Amino acid sequence: MNVLVIGSDPRIFEHDSESFLRAREYAGLFGEYHVVSSAPAGAEPYREGNLFLWPASSRFFLFWPLYAFTIGRNIARQRKIDVVDAQDAGECGIVAFCIARGLKKPFRVQIHTDIVSPRYRRASWKEYARWILARFLIPRADCIRAVSGRIRRSIETRDKRQETKISVLPIFTDMSRFISAALNPETERRFKDYNFKMIAAGRLVDKEKNFSMLIDVMRIFARISPQALLVIVGDGRDRTNCESRIRNYGLEKNVILEPWRDDLPSFYKSFDLFVSASNYEGWGRAVIEAMAVGLPVVMTDVGLAGEVVKNGANGIVVPVGNTQAFLHAIKTLYQDPEKREQLATAASKTAKNLEPRTREEYLVRYRECLESCMTKPQKLDRK
């Protein structure tokens, strides 16, 4: 089976990146695996075995889909593509749909974030446009890969006809690095003066991750525990806004913005609590990684909340955007070390038993998801 993928992650052209390594693994499952993706200026087509990478570069955001369509259509005609896969239900999805329908090939769409969430479509005009595209594309897909049960339920709530063609396959997380992580003495020394240490991680994109709410929570919590610490690990376009917020609140000693780290598993081990205030999520891999290390979790009701993190059993789940509820949850665990330990133990057990447990199992399921597109009848004229 030959697969054509339309993607938008330029890191796939960096040969030491997670995106590239993941594509190389996927390529081993198929006859040929072609990826057309947005790319940095100067990127060249690349081939390694049966993995083919095709850059679609444009100085203007709105022109990128046209370039990707032209490249992808030519590949599909020349290389006998069997299925066209889109890495999202927005720009990538419409490009993949047009190629697939033009050549009468099966079309799969992957959904990695909760596009049905009202908070998603209200985030900006881009998210609203992607929501409109998703409403058009999802009923017309031959099969769908959703990364969480929450996304599947959201789609099915809108249209029960989609139920039979949705496969739930979470993003694979290599638990071994986190389960076996050891304390880093240097990190311990660095934060030795703090009595309650919290950590968050992710892209500094506030409309999605809502790190500003965590900083607002710390503004209040630092009065309760002046020696409390929040470390936010990550980089992104809203870093400057976060830094300004921290300075304006006088929280320079209580909130630290940490660049992304390769030693994240051992870094986590020095903390007491993982926090996530996201407005919407598809899955929430950072939460799983923290659970595998053995951290209790406080998170908003997004992504894997309710599916993996169950309120009061192996973590605490609070309503999205509710600063007071989030503060109350943190305060409760700060004052109750025994409860923190109970949640941490349960979280670690949950993470260790999460399926698929191995990369090999995940790759088998990934192939099966795509093969399902080949066996189900295509619905070309669905309204």
Q: Splitting the chain (383 residues) into consecutive groups of 10 residues, what average pLDDT does each group show?
A: 95 93 95 94 92 86 86 93 96 96 94 91 92 94 93 83 80 88 95 97 95 97 97 95 96 96 94 97 94 97 95 97 97 97 96 88 93 64 36
| Domain count within the chain | 2
Which two tokens mark 87? 């890495």
Which two tokens mark 212? 């500003």
The CATH number for 115's domain is 3.40.50.2000
Which residue range forms the structural domain that includes residue 59? 2-172+358-375
* Residue labelled with tokens 């390529």: 27
81: Cα separation from own chain's centroid: 28
Answer for the pair 127, 92: CB distance below 8 angstroms, yes or no: no
**Judgement on whether residues 338 and 365 belong to the same structural domain of the protein:** no
- 205/142 Cα distance (integer angstroms): 32
**Judgement on whether residues 221 and 325 belong to the same structural domain of the protein:** yes
**Judgement on whether residues 142 and 188 belong to the same structural domain of the protein:** no
**Judgement on whether residues 78 and 16 belong to the same structural domain of the protein:** yes
For residue 296, is it within any domain? yes
Which two tokens mark 383? 């309204």
**Judgement on whether residues 197 and 157 belong to the same structural domain of the protein:** no
For residue 33, is it within any domain? yes
**Judgement on whether residues 343 and 366 belong to the same structural domain of the protein:** no
pLDDT of residue 378: 45
pLDDT of residue 266: 96
**Judgement on whether residues 65 and 148 belong to the same structural domain of the protein:** yes
* Sign of the torsion formed by the C-alpha atoms of 185, 191, 196 and 197: negative
pLDDT of residue 303: 94
- 351/293 Cα distance (integer angstroms): 9
For residue 82, is it within any domain? yes
Q: What are phi and psi of 74, to 5 degrees?
A: -65, -40
For residue 303, is it within any domain? yes
Return the amino acid letter for 341. E
Give alpha helix (H) positions in 323-377. 323-335, 337-352, 359-375
Closest-CA residue to 3 (of 25, 32, 38): 32
For residue 380, is it within any domain? no
pLDDT of residue 383: 33
For residue 381, is it within any domain? no
**Judgement on whether residues 41 and 164 belong to the same structural domain of the protein:** yes
For residue 383, is it within any domain? no
pLDDT of residue 105: 93
| Burial environment of residue 159 by CB neighbours within 10 A (0 to 12, 13 to 18, 19 or more) | exposed
* Residue labelled with tokens 């089976």: 1
pLDDT of residue 382: 38
Q: Distance between the two ends of the chain, CA-based, in angstroms?
A: 29
pLDDT of residue 160: 65
pLDDT of residue 164: 65
pLDDT of residue 379: 45
Closest-CA residue to 54 (of 38, 32, 78, 31): 38
Q: What is the largest CA-CA distance in the chain?
A: 66
**Judgement on whether residues 265 and 371 belong to the same structural domain of the protein:** no
Length of the chain, in residues: 383
Answer for the pair 343, 317: CB distance below 8 angstroms, yes or no: no
pLDDT of residue 9: 92
Give alpha helix (H) positions in 159-255. 176-179, 185-190, 206-209, 211-224, 239-249
pTM: 0.90
* Residue labelled with tokens 């309204």: 383
Return the amino acid letter for 32. E
For residue 382, is it within any domain? no
**Judgement on whether residues 83 and 158 belong to the same structural domain of the protein:** yes
**Judgement on whether residues 39 and 158 belong to the same structural domain of the protein:** yes
Answer for the pair 80, 2: CB distance below 8 angstroms, yes or no: yes
Beta bridge partners, 166, equal 144
| Burial environment of residue 19 by CB neighbours within 10 A (0 to 12, 13 to 18, 19 or more) | middle
**Judgement on whether residues 52 and 143 belong to the same structural domain of the protein:** yes
| Residue 133: strand, helix, or coil | helix
